[in-house]
């Protein structure tokens, strides 16, 4: 059954044209791209090929200000270029060095306004500007919000936030190289998702320091990223290391000790790591994601520092994006599963190589359970890998984009064999390195190189159903995780009145503990909850994934004794994946939950990243 969506049919020819140029050498800088409804750019006329930033981080006013110089590839008859901008304050624009005219169109929420600049025959434009107040991509932290009691700034570009601090074409299909000179107050270090040309910076003699960077490989603009703070570096191997505030860096280096081996595993599977170094930056606790795969410099939440390396699959995931996402990139966000689903699959492969098959099966079983939940809670439209129409981004659960995407690849693996899929994926990353990708083009490429007209194989794979339909196709198989075998028995014994301490909690790993907490009945008595908490110290458990699962259970039962622990958890970190569901759950628990949510939010909101705060605003207003 061949599904042709509006978007998919519009792509058919352009995406395949890109393939032809890949084998014949240099890529056409104006190669056709699918329409990105999240950008104002008109890349068929003129597109940005290089961004040169010369900016000062003004911690007093909380703005980035300075100049962006853009290099442009354009049709001979192009009169103008259209950029994305959201709340930028534009001071002056020139083209080829001469002042030119520009217009800022009507601004739409999230999308921002088109910034249209007359080219007058030039192929560079210079924009003097500053970021607006409350730029959604930037979080300016006060000294009190950091470990070292110094100011801190970090950016988060994905998906369409970078237009709040960089005036460029903010579309993942429009790849751009970049360089930057960033001025920051003396005493702080600037790091970026690029080669660091001046690790210590250059003193300017006025209490400030300038840092320079260079990213020579073309990247989608959501991967331009910056961090500024009291940062030090610890090597974890010849190519890898950790940046963090001084009091965090040792713990960070301990947790990340496996990074060099992870790189070796990924390279053996999918070909050379093409970005030079791989460092991670551990951010203050308000970082809104688990991780962000900024090239050469993954950004990480400090909530993964469990002290026992039990949450390093996060690092494997972000590292895997060095192939799926950063090298071959979803051309439009409707195909986000090409980034996240592939990456979750590779994350699993790295984990399997490092920590064994049993561990891998347990991770797959947890993901399988999340998919099952999504099938009952997410609208059918939100269950498609390739999004169609106006899918509400909030409806699009990560269990689909990430876990269904990975399950699709594992299903292919089971049917065609691991060797065949590995060989194919390696060739895919080589063939499309530094290029955008669409679902339709991936399927065409897979058919060309693997299915090759084999009708029986085609019928077995159900490729179009996986990519374009809601639900999970019939050829998916539930993972068998023997490490979880005993858990139902321990739960039954506890429900029958046995003490929770009868379960071998101390011998369980993080995933077994999560499985136990996630599969306990959602309705428990206050006595049962008190016994659980007392047996395992759940209110204070250092592992944030486990504590999240516990507090979810506590909230589902309006378990008052954990109120303080809930408030603390929601105040000491700002990771959206933890914050949003807990506020949502609290708001469904009547008087107790709503009062706790409002009381906590009143003082915690200031610590949250703008995008998390905006989401919680909506949850509390509903
Ligand atoms: N690229 C994502 C983070 C992201 C997704 C940012 C969507 C903005 C919009 C990153 O690679 C990611 O998936 N992070 C996960 C961790 C992972 C182990 C599932 C996260 O932040 O929880
Ligand atoms: Zn990811």
**Residues 546-590 pLDDT 10s:** 999 999 999 999 999 999 999 999 999 999 999 999 999 999 999
Of 225, 290, 364, 510, the residue with max ligand 1 atoms within 8 A of its CB, to mutate for a pocket test, comes to 290
Q: Which protein residue has the closest C-alpha to ligand 1 atom 22?
A: 290
Give the pLDDT confidence score for residue 393 in this predicted structure.
52
What atom in ligand 1 is closest to the CA of residue 343?
Answer: 11
| Chain centroid offset of residue 109 CA | 21
Cα–Cα distance, 157 to 540 (Å, whole number): 33
d(CA 220, CA 434): 9
Give nearest CA residue, ligand 1 atom 2: 292
Q: Determine which one of 318, 364, 533, 545 is catalytic.
A: 318
Q: Which candidate in 402, 428, 583, 601 is catalytic? A: 402
Closest atom of ligand 1 to 336 CA is: 7
Distance between CA atoms of 125 and 119, rounded to whole angstroms?
A: 7
Could you tell me which of 293, 319, 308 has the C-alpha nearest to residue 240?
A: 319
Residue corresponding to tokens 């909690």: 505
pLDDT attached to residue 57: 98
Residue 4: its pLDDT value, please?
33
Please answer whether residues 151 and 188 qualify as being in contact, where contact means their C-beta atoms are separated by less than 8 angstroms: yes
- For ligand 1, the distance from its centroid to the CA atom of residue 313, given in whole angstroms, is 12
CA of 608 to the centre of ligand 1 (A): 17
How many angstroms separate the first and last alpha carbons of the chain?
40
Q: Where are the beta strands (DSSP E) in 249-394?
A: 278-282, 291-292, 297-300, 328-330
> Residue 21's pLDDT is what?
41
Query: How crowded is residue 188: how many other Cβ atoms within 10 Å of its Cβ?
Result: 21
Here the tokens at position 26 are: 């240099």
Q: Pick the residue whose CA is nearest to atom 1 on ligand 1.
A: 292
Residues within a 6 A CB radius of ligand 1 = 158-159, 289-293, 314, 317-318, 321, 340, 402, 577
* Annotation marks residue 364 as catalytic: no
pLDDT on residue 395: 57
Asked if residue 42 lies in contact with residue 23, where contact means CB atoms within 8 angstroms, the answer is no
Question: Cβ atoms within 10 A of the Cβ of 310, count?
Answer: 18
**What is the Cα–Cα distance from 249 to 234, expressed in whole angstroms?**
7
User: What's the whole-model pTM score?
Assistant: 0.96
Residue ranges, the chain, pLDDT below 70: 1-26, 391-396
Provide the 8-state DSSP code for 606. G
The torsion angle over the Cα atoms of residues 318, 425, 33 and 50, rounded to 10 degrees, is 50
Burial 570-596 (b: 16+ CB within 10 A, else e): bbebbbbebbbebbbbbbebeeebeeb
Q: Is residue 358 among the annotated active site residues?
A: no
Residues 106-134 have pLDDT tens digits of 999 999 999 999 999 999 999 999 999 88
Question: CA-to-CA distance for 303 and 314, rounded, in angstroms?
Answer: 11
Secondary structure letter of residue 202 according to DSSP: E
Taking CA atoms only, the protein residue closest to ligand 1 atom 14 is 291
Please tell me the distance between residue 272's alpha carbon and the centre of ligand 2 in angstroms: 20
Sorted by sequence, the CB contacts under 8 Å of residue 387 that are 6+ apart come out as 333, 334, 335, 336, 381, 396
Helix, strand, coil share of the chain (percent; to 5): 45, 20, 35
DSSP annotation string for 344-374: HHHHHHHHHHHH-HHHHHHHHHHHHHHHHHH
Residue for token digits 């490092």?
Answer: 354
CATH superfamily of 328-468: Neutral Protease Domain 2 (1.10.390.10)
Q: What is the pLDDT of residues 35-87, one digit of tens each?
A: 999 999 999 999 999 999 999 999 999 999 999 999 999 999 999 999 999 99
pLDDT of residue 397: 75
Predicted local confidence at residue 26, as pLDDT: 66
- Return the CATH number of 488-621, one of 3.10.20.30, 3.50.50.60, 2.60.40.1930, 1.25.40.320: 1.25.40.320
The domain spans of the chain are 39-170+176-219+221-320, 328-468, 488-621
Q: What is the pLDDT of residue 392?
A: 60
Ligand nearest to the Cα of 294, by number: 1
Atom of ligand 1 nearest to the CA of 325: 1
Contacts (Cβ under 8 Å, ≥6 apart) of 59 = 140, 151, 153, 184, 185
Q: For residue 84, which of 154, 159, 166 has the smallest C-alpha distance? A: 166
What are the beta bridge partners of residue 64?
57
Residue nearest to atom 5 of ligand 1 (CA): 158
Residue 601 pLDDT: 98
For the 39-170+176-219+221-320 domain, the top CATH level (class) is mainly beta
Q: At what angle do helices 576-587 and 590-604 cross, to 10 degrees?
A: 140
Q: How far apart are CA 45 and CA 115, in angstroms?
A: 15
Give the contacts of 298 (CB within 8 A, at least 6 positions apart).
278, 279, 280, 281, 291, 292, 315, 318, 319, 321
The predicted pLDDT at position 555 comes to: 98
- Looking at all shown ligands, the one closest to residue 290's CA atom is 1
């Amino acid at each position: 059954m061949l599904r042709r969506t509006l978007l998919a049919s519009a792509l058919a020819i352009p995406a395949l044209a890109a393939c032809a140029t890949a084998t014949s050498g240099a890529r056409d800088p104006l190669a056709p791209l699918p329409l990105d409804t999240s950008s104002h750019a008109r890349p068929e006329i003129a597109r940005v090929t290089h961004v040169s930033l010369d900016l000062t981080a003004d911690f007093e006013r909380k703005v980035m200000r300075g100049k962006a110089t853009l290099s442009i590839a354009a049709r001979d008859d192009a009169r103008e270029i259209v950029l994305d901008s959201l709340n930028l304050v534009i001071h002056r624009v020139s083209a080829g060095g001469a002042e030119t005219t520009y217009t800022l169109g009507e601004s739409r929420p999230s999308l921002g306004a088109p910034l249209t600049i007359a080219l007058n025959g030039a192929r560079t434009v210079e924009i003097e500007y500053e970021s607006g107040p409350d730029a959604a991509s930037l979080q300016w932290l006060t000294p009190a919000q950091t470990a070292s009691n110094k100011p801190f700034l970090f950016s988060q570009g994905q998906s369409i936030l970078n237009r709040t601090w960089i005036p460029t074409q903010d579309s993942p299909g429009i790849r751009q190289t970049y360089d930057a000179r960033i001025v920051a107050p003396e005493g702080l270090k600037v790091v970026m998702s690029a080669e660091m040309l001046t690790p210590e910076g250059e003193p300017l003699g006025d209490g400030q320091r300038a840092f320079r960077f260079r990213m020579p490989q073309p990247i989608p603009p959501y991967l331009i990223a910056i961090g500024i703070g009291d940062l030090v570096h610890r090597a974890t191997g010849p190519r890898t290391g950790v940046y963090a505030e001084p009091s965090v860096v040792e713990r960070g280096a301990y947790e990340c000790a496996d990074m060099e081996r992870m790189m070796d595993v990924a390279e053996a599977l999918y070909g050379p790591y093409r970005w030079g170094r791989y460092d991670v930056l551990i951010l203050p606790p308000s970082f809104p994601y688990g991780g962000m795969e900024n090239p050469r410099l993954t950004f990480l939440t400090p909530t993964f520092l469990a002290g026992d390396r039990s949450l390093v699959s996060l690092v494997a995931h972000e590292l895997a994006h060095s192939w799926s996402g950063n090298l071959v990139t979803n051309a439009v966000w409707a195909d986000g599963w090409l980034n996240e689903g592939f990456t979750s699959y590779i994350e699993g492969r790295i984990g399997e190589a490092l920590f064994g098959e049993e561990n891998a099966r347990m991770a797959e079983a947890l993901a399988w359970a999340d998919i099952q939940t999504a099938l009952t809670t997410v609208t059918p439209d939100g269950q498609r890998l390739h999004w169609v129409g106006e899918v509400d981004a909030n409806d699009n659960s990560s269990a689909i984009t990430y876990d269904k995407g990975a399950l699709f690849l594992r299903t292919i693996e089971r049917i065609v064999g691991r060797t065949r899929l590995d060989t194919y994926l390696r060739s895919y990353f080589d063939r499309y390195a530094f290029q955008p990708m669409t679902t339709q083009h991936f399927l065409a490429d897979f058919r060309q190189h693997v299915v090759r007209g084999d009708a029986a194989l085609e019928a077995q794979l159900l490729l179009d159903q996986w990519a374009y339909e809601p639900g999970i196709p019939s050829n998916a198989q539930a993972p068998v995780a023997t490490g979880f075998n005993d858990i139902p028995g321990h739960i039954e014994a506890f429900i029958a009145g046995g003490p929770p301490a009868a379960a071998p909690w101390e011998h369980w790993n993080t995933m077994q503990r999560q499985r136990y907490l996630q599969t306990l009945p959602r309705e428990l008595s206050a006595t049962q909850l008190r016994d659980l908490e007392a047996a395992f110290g759940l209110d204070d458990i250092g592992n944030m994934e486990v504590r999240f699962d516990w507090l979810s259970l506590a909230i589902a039962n309006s378990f008052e004794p954990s109120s303080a622990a809930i408030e603390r958890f929601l105040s000491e970190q700002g990771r959206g994946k933890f914050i949003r569901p807990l506020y949502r759950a609290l708001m469904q628990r009547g008087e107790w939950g709503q009062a706790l949510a409002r009381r906590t939010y009143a003082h915690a909101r200031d610590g949250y990243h703008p995008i998390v705060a905006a989401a919680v605003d909506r949850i509390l207003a509903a």
